[in-house]
Structure 1
Amino acid sequence: MTIEPSRTHAPLDLLVIGGGVMGLFTAYQASRRQARVAVIEAGEIGDPMTASFGRTRSYRRDYLEAGYTRFADEAVRLWTEFETETGAEVLVRCGCMNIASRKITPDLENTYATLSTTVLNRLGIPVTSFDTEGIAARFPYLQADLGDLDPVGGLVDLRTVTATLQKSLAEAGVTVHERTSTTAIETGEGLVTVTTSAGTFTTRSLVITAGHGTNDVLKLLPGNQLQVPITKDRPSEARYYTPPAETRHLYTSDQMPVMAYLDTGIYLHPIVEGVVDAVKIGFYNPPDMPRGTTSINSVGDFVEQCLPGLLEAESTPVTDVDGCDYDLVADDDFVLGPVPGQPGVYVGVGWRGTGYKYAPWVGRVLAELACQEGTVYDVARFNPGRFVTP
């Protein structure tokens, strides 16, 4: 690492500390507003140990709380806007389907699928529902009794997103300083001065999107009383299943949607040509609905009971992605907004493993707060001030 403590950079409108997808989208949105922006990243962009790394993540709108559904819907619009602006194809529009089986969760009316569909319907978002016969006809590889499909959902191609953001930021003159540590922060007279191993930055606004390093950065703020109660989480198990050649076509994204059985902690991503050549199935503890006691206690249990066609498929642990830790917040809500008592300083953290889909929306919120002194979105529920320690 080259240390340049004496180097002073040109004044900025916005400095972002944290170069994951949230930080990069914040810089992207700010640069579109003609702001002078730079990004500081302690590691490297696309580091496998960051929560922004991987091949695919689902994007969906099926939540048990209407607020998150509305913001997820807005995020889909912003993803599409991002594609239009950059010419990149980052969304795999295969749909996202919540499923349930009577033999696993007998009370179908109280499954995540039914409850989240109720929220979607209340908000006027159309869902295509399949019963046992409909599933057998449309998805012959799946054994389930309920399938609620949001045709607008699907997958995000993470590598294309990262590459497109890097290219767009470079074209906009945004410098990204990788392998750069932050050692001091001073505030006063409407400016924030940040000392780093890449030199000193003076900026009108500072946004902190440093994931698990967020509290370390917050500690550098003089007089700061905010520490976010973050814990780490990751999928308990994730496996790739490579189906035999004769049935492979059933499991590609033009035939298979993203699937989730969140009552059991299961999610599934189909094969995406040119992106991932196997079905990915993960097993975790869902933040929106605590997993109860069911007959599914592993990825293998789910395959045996719901996707028996993959029983003979080659199966390998997922080791190239999802090795990161997600950042969970004590009250299960995002932390997004101004740092109390620190004018011009904003923070975004606590994405719960579900946050990637919101990235363009989070970036827009933080860019508006930092560059326009307010946002068009009602984000009061995410106020970081709820965690201020007196």
Structure 2
Amino acid sequence: MSLIPTPRTPVPALPPAVEIVVVGGGVMGAATAWQLARRGHEVLLLEQFGPGHDRGASHGTSRIYRLTYSDPRYVRLAAEALELWRELEHETGAGLLTFTGGVDHGDPDSTGPLAASLAAHGIAYEWLDPQEAAERWPGRVFEGRVLHQPDRSGRVHADQAVAAFGAAAVGWGAVVRHRVAVEALEIGGDDRVDVRTTAGTVRARRVVVTAGAWSAGLTAGLIPLPALRVTQERPVHVVRRPGVPSGPTFIHHVTDGWPSSVYGLAAPDGRVKLGFHGVGRLRDPDAAPPPADARTARLLLDYIDRYLPGLDGSTAETVECTYTSTPDAEFALVAQGPLTVGAGFSGHGFKFAPAIGRVLADMATDATAVSPVGPR
């Protein structure tokens, strides 16, 4: 059950004016609202769909948490997020982050720099040969040396995280309105934005847009953003065969012709979630999802047969997810005048959510604040 109260029908009237409007109530918007509200700001969070909806990129039960990045900027941001995830858990009583350990295997040009980064940051890791790893985690086939990070890798419960951020924001005084779509933003000066919605117009001193696939259209002509690519991704949930343990999360940096790297993690219901990264077809978020790519779907089942024999591929159940990505996979965190935008998180952003909320809150309220990540 969602921790965020479902509004009555019809939606309660919006205030005529507010200090800060956050547009988009997925994980990034809810995290930003939490950060702003607990600093004492007056916050209105608007979400066009209902609580727990599946139209964006924040739904479901499982996202990977890890510190295993070769870029030190993202290691530091993930470490900050870990502290904030624990703060959110303490504040709300929700259990959100589960450590399972994590492994990377495959292309040594990928795994080698990851190990070097872990070493440079004093984060525990070990190397295993493929046979040793297969014996430790039956039902998996590994390629090349296996990098194992044992104690700060795992999963975040996505739906519960979004609900917890929203509940915590409300607890600090934020107002959350679901089923209110923002139709246009009209900037009238350095401290004025008219937010035109399906429930009326709200005047704000600052607006933070975290609208995922809708971000580019909503901010077109208002603020410079990198090109945002929206795709429909289709990972699967698969049942483990009897006696096969769930094991750690994994990233397989494939070397032999698969469409992309492959990620996987155990879901709370005992199944395993896995998929290719960023290979879906382009989509318009306001239109019906494009049809599935039969070849990619077949290749994912082939991958299961080859590398995950402990899973029963016949049980694979497809889940839908909308990705919004930048060309270089860097996060787009941009502020100009009264408008701040956070976008391009899909594929690896969820783990950073509480820290991204902190960054966006800083950028929205302090003209000197800059993003710690993004294009160099």
What amino acid maps onto 2:374 in structure 1? Answer: F
Instruction: Tell which deviates more after alignment, 161-170 or 206-215.
Output: 161-170
- The code of the aligned residue for 2:339 comes to V
Match of 1:267 in 2: 263
Most deviating of 19-28 and 179-188: 179-188
Report SS of the residue matched to 2:48. Answer: coil
Partner amino acid for 2:91? E
CA distance in structure 1 between the partners assigned to 2:330 and 2:313 by the alignment: 38
Aligned AA for 1:280? K
Query: Secondary structure of 2:310's partner?
Result: helix
Relative to the length of structure 2, the TM-score reads 0.82
Distance between the aligned counterparts of 1:301 and 1:212, measured in 2? 30
> Which of 124, 140, 143 is 2:141 aligned to?
143
Hey, what does 2:248 align to over in structure 1?
A: 257
Q: Give the alignment's Cα RMSD to 1 decimal.
A: 2.8
Does 2:117 match 1:119?
yes
Conserved 8 A contact 1:232-1:327 = yes
Given that 1:59 and 1:153 are in contact with CA atoms closer than 8 Å, whether structure 2 keeps it comes out as yes
Residue identity in the other structure for 1:315: S
Contact 1:205 1:344 in 2 (8 A): yes
- Give SS of 1:316's match: strand
Question: Does 1:216 find its partner at 2:217?
Answer: yes
Instruction: Show the counterpart of 1:104.
Output: none
Shift of 1:99: 2.1
The match for 1:349 is 343
More strand by share: 2
Aligned residues of 1:12 and 1:36 also touching (Cα < 8 A): yes
Contact 1:62 1:116 in 2 (8 A): yes
**Paired residue for 1:134?**
132
Q: Report the TM-score when normalising by structure 1.
A: 0.79
- Alpha-carbon distance in structure 2 between the residues aligned to 1:48 and 1:90: 19
CA contact (8 A) 1:128 1:149 kept: yes
| Residue 85 of structure 1, CA deviation | 2.2
Tell me, which stretches of 5 or more residues in structure 2 are unaligned?
1-8, 281-296
Distance in 1, matches of 2:206 and 2:315, equals: 46
- Residue 187 (str. 1) matches residue 159 (str. 2): no
Q: Tell me which residue corresponds to 1:90.
A: 96
Q: Cα distance 1:160–1:318, how it changes in 2: closer, same or farther (>3 A)?
A: same
Q: Give the secondary structure class of the aligned counterpart of 2:347.
A: coil
Whole-Å separation in 2 of the counterparts to 1:21 and 1:203? 22
Give the number of equivalent residue pairs. 344
Q: Alignment partner of 1:325: what SS? A: strand
CA 1:381 to 1:159, structure 2 compared with 1: closer, same or farther past 3 Å?
A: closer
* Paired residue type of 1:147: V
1:54 paired residue among 35, 57, 60:
60
Deviations 1:173-224 (A, max 9, x none): 32222222323423226232222222222222110111121122213xxx73
Distance in 1 (CA, whole Å) between partners of 2:360 and 2:16 is: 22
Q: Which amino acid letter does the alignment assign opposite residue 71 of structure 2?
A: E
Matches within 5 A, 1:331-346: 331-339=328-336, 343-346=337-340
Relative to structure 1, the CA distance from residue 45 to residue 99 in structure 2 (aligned partners, 3 Å threshold; closer, same or farther) is same
2:160 alignment partner in structure 1: 160
- Check the 8 A contact 1:2/1:198 in 2, yes or no: no
Distance 1:286 1:131, change over 3 A: farther
Query: 1:117 and 1:189, CA in 2 relative to 1: closer, same or farther beyond 3 A?
Result: closer
Identity %: 29
What is the distance in 2 between the residues matched to 1:58 and 1:369? 26
Match of 1:74 in 2: 80
The 8 Å contact of residues 68 and 114 in structure 2, kept in 1 or not, is answered as yes
Partner residue, 1:370: 364
How far did residue 349 of structure 1 move?
Answer: 0.4
Instruction: Flag structure 1 segments of 5+ consecutive residues without an equivalent.
Output: 101-107, 288-295
Q: Is the counterpart of residue 382 in structure 1 residue 374 in structure 2?
A: yes
Taking the aligned partners of 1:282 and 1:192, their CA distance within structure 2 comes to 40
Over 3 Å counting, the alpha-carbon distance change for 1:372 and 1:183 in structure 2 is same
Structure 1 Cα separation of the partners of residues 188 and 132 of structure 2: 61
Structure 1 pair 233–332 and aligned structure 2 pair: CA distance change class (3 A): same
Hey, what does 1:318 align to over in structure 2? Answer: 317
Map of 1:18 onto structure 2: 24
Equivalent pair of 2:37/2:174 in contact (CA under 8 Å): yes
Residue of structure 2 equivalent to 1:290: none
Give how far 1:301 is off: 3.0
The alpha-carbon deviation at position 324 of structure 1 amounts to 2.2
Aligned to 1:361: 355
Contact 1:239 1:316 in 2 (8 A): no
